[in-house]
Amino acid sequence: MTLSALRAQPGRYLGLEVRFVLQFRALVEDWNPYLSRFEPARWLALEVWPDEALNWERAAFETPARRLFVRRGGGFEPLVRRARIYQRFEVRARVREAFLGEAWLELLELVPLEGEVGEGTILHVTRARELAAEGQFDLALDQYERARSAPLSPHALAAVLEEIRATQAARERAEAEGAKQVKRE
């Protein structure tokens, strides 16, 4: 499943084990546990992005998922303390609570994965989009190729390739329109 699907209907998965892939954002040492079992003295919280989220989209970048927890002193604490921003993990978790419209997850297993949507990719895709909007298609395609050269996850690579195809098509339309203008003159 995806973390986005889980977040959309947290109550549906209450008490169940789930598997999904995430991108690490930050470790959180202190938060308001409300009435949950996840008090900061016993748990560490993680902020993550769903793996299916494309971090070059501002809305995805600015809304990380919260309420994912590992036990302090547990076997995975050293792993999450060493985690790098944008690092991907396959996760096995149990939905312990559904509160405040969110699933509160106990992480039972974390396995590091290859690929990430990191700062370089975010920068190059953002620049490519700006250049394409200005009609500078060759420069935009160069930026997309730089973004594509990173070790991306399969869905992020597919998204970059789709944007490359769209930019190539826009360049071809602009060239055809330019040829028509020259012919008319």
Residue type, 100: L
Residues 6+ apart with CB under 8 A from 64: 25, 26, 47, 48, 49
pLDDT at 27: 96
Output the pTM of the full model. Answer: 0.87
pLDDT at 179: 78
d(Cα 180, Cα 185) in Å, to the nearest integer?
A: 9
For 135-176, give the DSSP string.
T-HHHHHHHHHHHHTS---HHHHHHHHHHHHHHHHHHHHHHH
pLDDT at 180: 78
Q: 106 and 94 in contact (C-beta within 8 Å)?
A: yes
Q: 111 and 130 in contact (C-beta within 8 Å)?
A: no
pLDDT at 185: 66
Blockwise average pLDDT, block size 10, the chain, 185 residues:
94 96 96 92 96 93 95 95 96 94 95 93 96 97 96 93 97 88 72
d(Cα 30, Cα 92) in Å, to the nearest integer?
A: 23
